[in-house]
């Protein structure tokens, strides 16, 4: 059977690991967001915008051809 002291120690250790995960995750997010125009998130958003522009152009072009 576990003593109160060992249970309290396990709870504190679980709290410590949660804090470490939050710090590491926050750092990873900051690294991905920061960096100006070469940031991975900025490049992803730019690629998605370009893909949507191409898709919208293709849809409008196909609609124009069907009307003829």
Query: One digit per residue, pLDDT tens: the chain, 68 residues?
Result: 667 777 666 666 666 778 889 999 999 888 888 877 788 888 889 999 999 999 988 888 766 665 55
Are 33 and 44 contacting, i.e. CB atoms less than 8 angstroms apart? no
Q: Label residues 39-61 b or e (16+ Cβ within 10 Å = b).
A: eeeeeeeeeeeeeeeeeeeeeee
Are 66 and 42 in a shared domain?
yes
Looking at the structure, do residues 42 and 67 belong to the same domain, yes or no?
A: yes
Q: To the nearest 10°, report the CA torsion of 27, 28, 30, 34.
A: 140
Instruction: List the domain range (segments joined by +) for residue 43.
Output: 36-68
User: Within this chain, do residues 23 and 13 fall inside the same structural domain, yes or no?
Assistant: yes
**Integer distance in angstroms from the first to the last C-alpha of the chain?**
82
Q: Same structural domain for residues 1 and 26?
A: yes
């Amino acid at each position: 059977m576990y003593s109160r002291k060992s249970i309290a120690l396990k709870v504190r250790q679980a709290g410590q690991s949660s804090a470490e995960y939050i710090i590491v995750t926050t750092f990873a997010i900051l690294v991905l967001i920061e960096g100006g125009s070469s940031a991975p998130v900025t490049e992803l958003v730019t690629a998605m915008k370009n893909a949507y522009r191409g898709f919208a152009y293709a849809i409008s072009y196909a609609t124009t051809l069907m009307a003829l």
